Chains A and B, each alone.
Chain A
Amino acid sequence: MLCDSSIIRNRGYATPAPTQTHILSEAFATNAADAACVGFGVASLPRGTAPLLWAQDRLSRQETGQPYLPGLPGRSIIRVDVSRAVDVLWAMEEALKCTSLGAIIGEIWGDPKQLDFTATKRLAMRAEHYGMPCWLIRRAASPDLSAARDRWRVMSLPSLQHPDDSKAPGDPRWQVELFRSRHRAPGTWIATYDRAADRLDMSAPFRDRAVAEGDGARERRTAR
Chain B
Amino acid sequence: MERANAAPPDDVAVILATEGQHGPVIHAANRAARMAGTHAGARVVDVKALSPDLRVEYADIAGDRLALERLMLWARRWCPWSATDGLDGLILETTGADHLLGGEATMLTEMETRLSLLGLTAQIAVAPTWGAAWALARYGTVRATCPTELIGAQLGPLPVAALRLDEPTLLLLRRLGLRTVGDLAKVPRLSLTRRFARDALHANPLLRLDQAMGHLAEPVASKEARPKIGARSSLPEPIQDPTAYLPDLCADLCAQLTHHGLGCRRLSLTVFRTDGEVSTIIAATAAPSRDASHLSRLFEGKLEQINPGFGFDLITLEAAVVEPIEVVQTRLGGGSDGDLQLPHLIDRLVARFGERSVQRPVLNASHLPERAERVIGALQDTDSTTAAGSKERPIRLLWTPEEVRVVYAVPDGPPAQFIWRRQTHKVARYDGPERIAPEWWKDRPGTRLRDYFKIEDQTGRRLWLYREGLHGDGRGGDPRWFIHGIFA
Contacts and interface: CB of A to CB of B under 8 A. Distances in A.
Interface of A: 31, 33-36, 38-40, 42-43, 51, 53, 61, 64-73, 76-82, 87, 90-91, 94-95, 97-101, 155-159, 162, 165, 167-169, 172-174, 193, 195, 215-217, 220
B4 interface: no
Most buried by A among B378, B399, B486: B486
A42 B227 CA distance: 50
Given A70-B388, A78-B360, A80-B349, 12 more contacts: A35-B394, A36-B488, A68-B485, A78-B346, A78-B359, A79-B361, A91-B349, A91-B353, A94-B348, A100-B341, A169-B431, A169-B454
Contacts of B485: 65, 68, 71
B461 interface: yes
A5 B356 CA distance: 40
A151 to B, nearest CB: 20
Given A77-B361, A98-B345, A165 B488 contact: no
Give the secondary structure class of A's interface.
mixed
* Most interface-central of A94, A162, A169, A220 (chain B CB within 10 A): A169
B355 to A, nearest CB: 11
A161 to B, nearest CB: 9
A94 B300 CA distance: 13
A72 B395 contact: yes
8 contacts: A33-B486, A65-B397, A76-B360, A77-B361, A78-B346, A158-B460, A217-B456, A217-B460
A78 B363 contact: no
Interface string B82-98: 00000000000000000
Nearest to B455: A169
Given A90-B352, A91-B353, A98-B341, A156 B397 contact: no
A68 B484 CA distance: 11
B396 interface: yes
A172 B357 CA distance: 31
B462 A71 contact: no
Contacts of B421: 33
Interface in B449-476: 454-456, 459-462
B7 interface: no
A71 B421 CA distance: 23
B487 interface: yes
The SS class assigned to the B binding surface is mixed
Contacts of B398: 64-65
Interface string B329-365: 0000000000101101110110011001111111100
Contacts of B397: 65-66, 68, 71
A90 B346 CA distance: 13
A95 B345 contact: yes
Instruction: Identify the interface centre among A65, A99, A162: most chain B CB within 10 Å of its CB.
Output: A65
Contacts of B356: 81
Contacts of A76: 360
B395 A195 contact: no
B358 A68 contact: no
Contact of A80 (B357, B361, B372, B486): B357
A82 B360 contact: no
A66 B462 contact: no
A66 B399 contact: yes
B372 A70 contact: yes
Contacts of B339: 100
Interface in B128-153: none
Contacts of B375: 79
